[in-house]
Chains A and B, each alone.
Chain A
Amino acid sequence: MTDHLLAASGLSAGYKNIEILHGLDLTVPPGKITVIVGANACGKSTFLRTISRLIAPTAGQVLLDGKSIHRMPSRDLARTLGLLPQSPIAPEGITVADLVSRGRHPHQSLFSRWTRQDDEAVDSALSATKTSDLAERPVDELSGGQRQRVWIAMALAQQTDILLLDEPTTFLDINHQIEVLDLLIDLNHTRGTTVVMVLHDLNLAARYADHLVALASGHVHISGTPEAVLTEETVRQVFGLESRVITDPISGRPIMLPIGRHRIANPQQQEKRA
């Protein structure tokens, strides 16, 4: 069970002269699944890149247990905070077992030898992601869904209490999306890993999040339980879209149905849009 506390306070960051985050405050609830949603260019990815130290903030700070992560030794940080970026690169021909073992990097140094503990971490990462059978296969030959599971296995081998993921379901078909998200819930339940991820799909976000955060123009617009966050009002304000939010009969979580200009069977909804 993790008790590490990750928080952003007054966080501003961006690229070159463009500031994207403007004084953002957010506390990640430990041991929970936090999902970040928002319109394109609202700063979702920038936020994730800043709290994982890929970008330095221009103001404010990212705190891990009250200490600024930009002042922590990078290997120490990498043993607590893991990140699966959007497009990691698998070296040509690398096998699954080899790639997953690269996750042990922050636990080793130039002269330290590979230990039984390292082997066990790799093994348990493989079995948690159900990729043990793929261990000797080259990563290039895997399907998109298998490959994503292998990358998650690598992040698991890193054995961090907090795991950040930048759109882990992009490019996956729907059954692999569900498979990856279910896997993350498993990890959260069995290992108590704190998960923070950016998702594009609002309905999947509401289904899988314990804590849902909607960003708009570099601020936290609203955060809380999916029921509190995914409302018709939020969708209107954050995405500029009319919608209906009903209860998903499968998960009991809110589900959003967009109202566009066409394909509307119920005239009442048509009026609402006008």
Chain B
Amino acid sequence: MQSAAIDVVITNRRGRARRYAVVLAVLLALVAAIFAVTLSIGKTITPPAEVLRVLLGEAVPGADFSVGQLRLPRAVLSVLAGLCFGLGGVAFQVMLRNPLASPDIIGITSGAGAAAVFAIVVLSMSGPMVSVFAIVAGLGVAMLVYGLSFHNGVAGTRLILVGIGVSAMLQSVIAYILQSAPAWSLQEAMRWLTGSVNGAQLDQALPLLLALLVFGGLLVSRSRDLDALRLGDDMAAALGTRVAQTRMLVIIAAVGLIASATAATGPIAFVAFLSGPIAGRIVKNDGSLLIPSALTGAVLVLAADYIGQHLLPGRYPVGVVTGALGAPYLIYLIIRVNRIGGTL
């Protein structure tokens, strides 16, 4: 009898591990597939063999420019930004146990965006300094929102409402700076309003990759503590998680990811917000949401950019497509949370 029950426990656990591995493999394959499509099928179709030769650094007449200079930087930046947004978003959502607590809803993305626009337009900065500036501003906004909503501990709802207010304010700062910069092209302006990977350069990828390794690594090393936080702060503490310390590290790491990605591509609308809940639907409770959500973010950005570039009449920046996807989900979520008080 004893052994029958323990078999259920073991089967249950193995089932979770197996399903989790399958989910990761499928998401990875999906990222790879859309990446490959982005490289080879655009206005013109480049055969995979030629794409490979370009990637290996050979000079291929005709494909050199379209694949190496246009599509590759775009795809690489999409993947990296998607990973950063997905990871940073889900970290906040899990930590605060509320899908609405995503950095793009509570003002952190707009903070980083406003700082980046300010740095570029007013201070004429460029390159990695813009990222640093955006990270500092993102952390500042996070602390501001956290501080304003602090009252006998932080209640999720208050933090979200304060964040939405702060976010609206920062959006108008972005709009104001863009307005007062006469030489600003519509293309560039769109980047800071909805996010775009137009005009991507490979050298933009390096700071993003670095942020992903440092901040992403930090988050993943804390994934078990984040998982414990889903049971409530008290329960997590009872299980030996240092709640305050974990929360601080998670905020720093997630803001680092979001701000770095925002500095590179602008605030690609709703990717941080959507990735976690989508990953949550797929993973259920089979394992940590961090990596599945990061991969989902990459899928979203790659796919949305491809749709915006090639499948719609006209060309739209990636943020327009993700925005169109995210808005209905936001409405659905608000209705659902209202009705059943659902969590992630």
A151 to B235 CA separation, bound complex (whole angstroms): 10
In the complex, which residues of chain A have a beta carbon less than 8 angstroms from the beta carbon of B320?
A: none
Which range holds the interface residue count of chain B?
Answer: 20 to 34
Q: Chain B contact residues: over half helix, strand or loop, or mixed?
A: helix
Residue contact A92 to B13, C-beta cutoff 8 Å = no
Does A186 make an interface contact (CB < 8 A)? no
CB distance from A221 to the nearest CB of B (A): 26
B329-344 residues with Cβ-Cβ distance < 8 A to A are 342-344
* A78 neighbours in B (Cβ, 8 Å): 238-240
In the assembled complex, the CB of B104 is this many whole angstroms from the nearest CB of chain A, namely 22
CB-nearest residue of chain A to B10: A119
Question: How extensive is the interface on chain A, given as a class?
Answer: 35 or more
A102 and B231 within 8 A (CB): yes
- The 0/1 profile, CB within 8 Å of A marked 1, for residues 224-259 of chain B is 100110111011011111100000000000000000
B234 and A102 contact, CB distance less than 8 A:
no
A78 CA to B238 CA, complexed, in Å: 6
Measured CB to CB, the closest approach of chain A to B21, in angstroms, equals: 14
Contact at A89–B231, with CB atoms within 8 Å? yes
Minimum CB distance partner of A73 in chain B: B240
A78 CB to closest chain B CB (Å) equals 3
**B9-47 to A contact mask, C-beta < 8 Å, 1/0:** 110110010000000000000000000000000000000
User: Which of A91, A94, A119, A126 contacts B13, CB < 8 Å?
Assistant: A119
Q: Determine the distance from Cα of A87 to Cα of B6 in the docked complex, in whole angstroms.
A: 28
Contacts of A155 in B (CB 8 A): 238
Stretch at the interface among A104-112, A203-211, A247-255, A259-267: A104-112
B185 at the interface (CB under 8 A from A): no
| Chain A residues with CB below 8 A from B224, complex form | 105, 108, 110
Give the residues in chain B near A108, CB-CB below 8 Å: 224
- CB within 8 Å of B: which A72-126 residues: 74-79, 82-95, 97-98, 101-103, 105-106, 108, 110, 114, 119-120, 122-123, 126
- Residues from chain B with a CB closer than 8 A to the CB of A103 are 239
Interface string of A146-186 (1 = CB under 8 A from B): 00000000010010000000000000000000000000000
18 A–B contacts from the bound complex (CB under 8 Å): A15-B152, A53-B237, A78-B239, A82-B238, A83-B234, A85-B232, A85-B235, A87-B232, A89-B230, A89-B343, A90-B231, A97-B8, A108-B224, A114-B13, A119-B10, A119-B13, A135-B5, A135-B8
B residues sitting closer than 8 Å to A (CB atoms) are 2, 5-6, 8-10, 12-13, 16, 97, 152, 221, 223-224, 227-228, 230-232, 234-235, 237-242, 284-285, 342-344
